[in-house]
Amino acid sequence: MKTGSHCNYASLAVAVLMLAACAHIDDPTGRIERNYYADGPWPVTVQPAAPCCAANGFATDLYYPTNLGASGFKHPIVTWGNGTGGNSTGAAYFLRHLASWGFVVVASQDGYERDGASILAAAHKMVDENSNPASIFFNKLDINHIGAVGHSQGAGGAVRAMIVSTGIAPYPPITTVVPIELPGQRFCFCAQQDILDTSAVTQGSIFFVDGSADIPVSPPTQPQGSSGEQSNQAFYDAVPSTVVKAKATLLAANHNDIGGQPKCLPGAWFCDIGVFGYLGYPTAWLTYQLGVDPSAKAAFVSGTGEMFMQSHWLYVQSNVH
């Protein structure tokens, strides 16, 4: 069986008997998705409340390759944004998965990250660690490749963090963002000027991901009669065409499936199928955009990319060429 598979078998006979039990509605079929659905080659260390990297007054959790800098590798930085009232342990399986592919993931413990300040501050702290001789991250990070990923309220915060990350000397900007289950504008109970408008995304790249069961929070298409950006489609459309962008909806996923460990925990609300479907293409996007594997771009090429051919991904669209 493939190394890194989420179903482990003692023998081929057991594999045959248990294959159906291990199948998921969103099991990957494409080569690129299968590759990144599996665990990556890096063993992972998790450090909750890491003392090195307080961000905006909040402690941060770290998920990183244990053998940092092996063979001279420079690790891209991924900064994570929590859903409302949450923390990174709610997405620990997903974040550990990203770290297994060589990313250093930093997650502020801020549970209200709508403005993106803590998400951006966490990224900046990791840039500082790269130049700190006393740090385990000293000269081991690729500070010119920084991504942001977030869930729900943290998805909006991650987008905002990228928007405001330019021109903050001496820090490089966030270069790509993956908002997962980004709520429609009507869920921002805030002043008009604080409502996220993705037309403000003028640099970097963005990959919108939501689930087909996440209605009404993050519907794939614009609800009839609604105004503003109230759907994955509307947020995607608002991003200028000069920005590299993609979007896709995972079949049968609900608002909190990203929190599967990997299955939904007992009693977890709005979690239907677990984290499995989120492991492949979001990871592939980050490896493509953050310089780890440029060939992963083939999954996202408009109209002909692998993602467009998968039955468990709906409403796929991109301007990648």
Domain definitions of the chain by residue range:
12-318
Q: For helices 117-130 and 153-164, what crossing angle results, to 10°?
A: 60
pLDDT digits 0-9 by tens, 130-176 = 999 999 999 999 999 999 999 999 999 999 999 999 989 999 999 99
204 alpha-carbon distance from chain centroid? 15
From residue 100, give the alpha-carbon distance in Å to each of 3, 52, 77, 147, 185: 13, 21, 13, 16, 34
The secondary structure element, H or E, covering residue 218 is none
Q: Calculate Rg over the CA atoms of the chain.
A: 19
Q: What angle do CA 90, 54, 201 make, to 5 degrees?
A: 70
Residue 145 φ then ψ, to 5° = -125, 95
* Predicted pLDDT at 26: 79
- pLDDT lower than 50: segments of the chain: 1-21
The neighbour count for residue 157, using CB atoms within 10 Å, is 32
pLDDT at 3: 37
Q: Are 39 and 108 in contact (CB under 8 A)?
A: no
**What contacts 45, CB < 8 A, 6 or more positions away?**
62, 63, 64, 65, 66, 99
Helix residue ranges, H only, 143-247 = 153-164, 232-238
How would CATH label the architecture of 12-318? 3-Layer(aba) Sandwich (3.40)
Of 257, 305, 283, 52, nearest in space to 149 by CA: 283
Q: What is the DSSP letter of 316?
A: E
pLDDT at 193: 63
Contact status, residue 120 vs residue 46, Cβ threshold 8 Å: no
Residue 120's nearest CA partner among 176, 155, 81, 89 is 81
pLDDT score at 21: 43
- DSSP tag of 157: H
Q: What's the angle, vertex CA 253, arms to CA 267 and CA 294, rounded to 5?
A: 125
Cis peptide before 170 (omega within 30 of 0): yes
CB 155 within 8 A of CB 115: no
Cβ atoms within 10 Å of 8's Cβ, excluding its own: 11
Cα distance between residue 112 and residue 169, in whole Å:
26
Strand 58-65 and strand 44-55: the pairing is antiparallel
Tens-place pLDDT, residues 253-297: 999 999 999 999 999 999 999 999 999 999 999 999 999 999 999
